[in-house]
Amino acid sequence: MNQKEAWERAKTILNFGAGVNSTALAIEMNNRGMKPDYVIFADTGCENPETYAYLERMTAWFKKNDWNYFQVKSKYGNLYDYYFNKKMVPSRCFRDCTDKFKKMPINTFLKTLGVKEVIQYIGIDASEKQRAVFKGRKGFTFKYPLIEWGIDRKGCERIIKAEGIPIPMKSGCFCCPFQRNESWLRLLKEHPELYNKAELMEKNGKRYPLIGVTWNTTLEELRIAKKEQTTLFKKEGLCGLPKCDGWCMV
């Protein structure tokens, strides 16, 4: 079977994260008559409350447009409980949380359907095309329509507004280690109970306070600094990166 024949037999999947890019991609695909076979949202159990609320809105949108929308979950259960029980925090270096709670649940779902050849549409916009480095793997072909169409972040926002849907907040887990300090402070202000949970996870880690979920401080230090209106002192390691102790062999 050649590549063209494989594509013709392949199922098309939209990876939906309920953020700006994947929402705009869904709308634009619908505008262009490109309905995928499945829309899949991998639920870590730790998404921001705003994301879950937005999912309800988009679930209704998918139903109205007759799209096959599914939510899948990891065999490891809730992301927070998984890392808390292991006395760890999600890793920025290894990104095993992405594998265990995003990729694996989707792959498992597809296997249960007997799907072997997949074209996955991924919402990376034209302003961040440097991220679109993966072309696929065995049985999977990755496509980045927003890049192909030259649609950047502002273009994504215009597409969503034109559909009459509010712009979603950046999607992600409330305990995601890739958040900047301003995102953590937003969480502290708007959802202090979730901030406290993330802080508890961090303190529960085996290598706390050396390794945590923030870039250059601990959540406790960040919370105290916000309360006292003080400036955080940046910690640097051997390689000049925040909180590095050389274990990465740099």
Quote the pTM value: 0.85
**Residue span of the structural domain in which 12 resides:** 3-162
Say what the pLDDT of residue 9 is. Answer: 63
What's the CA gap between 162 and 27, in Å, rounded? 10
- Find the mean pLDDT for residues 87-99: 88
The verdict on 101 and 218 lying in the same domain is no
Helix pair 49-64, 20-31: axis angle to 10 deg: 10
Residues 108 and 198 in one domain: no
In a domain, 171, yes or no: no
Q: How many domains does the chain have?
A: 2
Residue 25 forms part of a structural domain: yes
pLDDT tens for each residue of 112-168:
989 889 999 999 999 999 998 887 778 889 999 999 999 999 999 999 999 999 999
Same domain, 208 and 132: no
pLDDT per position as a tens digit, 46-60: 999 999 999 999 999
Question: How does residue 243 score in pLDDT terms, banded at 50, 70 and 90?
Answer: very low
**Which pLDDT belongs to residue 230?**
75
Q: How far are the Cα atoms of 15, 28, 149, 225 from residue 143, in angstroms, in the given order?
A: 11, 14, 12, 43
